[in-house]
Amino acid sequence: LLEREPNNPPKNAVRVIRRSAEHLSNLVEGLLDISKIESGRLRLNRDRVRFGEFLEQIVDMFRLQAAAKGIGFHYHRPAQLPAWIRTDEKRLRQILINLLSNAIKFTDRGEASLTVRYASSQLAEFEVADTGMGIREEDLEDVFKPFERGGMPGAKMQPGSGLGLAITRVIVQIMGGEIVLRSTPGQGSRFVVKLMLGAAQDDHDAAEARRRIRGYRG
């Protein structure tokens, strides 16, 4: 359409192009992850992650998305969290983004939430809940299969590649954790991910603080 009518572009044409490109990119990345998993080539890193800031970055992203959709977003965390943890930062981010994006995507009214708990000094729990359309009991296992969306009305109409939950469960398992899903059709869903995320040593905190960018010079 832009080629045929360069002087009178259709409304929202650029937005459609961007969303289509994002969908294609997500699909390609998802297929690459599935390929790595099936071939046993998915490797985990042991990154040193500043835990509180890591969570805040993700929460800020989805708080904006929820506000744009007109639903609430809540974040709950214990008063004390490890300052640093050892984990694969990319994969932990991927797990939380997949779950939170689904929570907002499938919720038209109400709210979505992220709750972080530490059941012990090592075991972290991430609970992602929503008040969306929910998932039928017979679909609770199927939604973890590639390209499956479940049988709730409107589920298949939502954008996305249908690979997020399949990839999420396998990554959680590779990281030595577990993911549990509970859902009631018409009332919402609740995903709980449990991972061993022990605190990292703080011996690099001073050096990290010295390296932190505080302003401009020159």
Residues 81-116 have pLDDT tens digits of 999 999 999 899 999 999 999 999 999 999 999 999
Share of the chain above pLDDT 90, in %: 50
* Listed residue (30, 41, 51) closest to 195, CA to CA: 51
In this prediction, residue 106 carries a pLDDT of 92
Decide if 129 contacts 113 (C-beta within 8 A).
Answer: yes
Among the listed ranges 33-37, 71-75, 105-109, 125-129, which one has the minimum average pLDDT value? Answer: 33-37
What gap in Å lies between CA 85 and CA 205, rounded to an integer?
A: 12
Mean pLDDT computed over every residue of the chain: 85
- 69 confidence band (pLDDT: 50, 70, 90): very high
The mean pLDDT of 12-26, rounded to a whole number, is 77
Q: What is the pLDDT of residue 160?
A: 59
Q: Which residues pair with 72 in a beta bridge?
A: 111
Residue 116, classed as helix, strand or coil, is strand
Distance CA 93, CA 49 (A): 11
- Say yes or no to pLDDT of 203 above 60: no
The per-residue pLDDT for 52 is 93
Q: Which residue has the tokens 């390609």?
A: 28
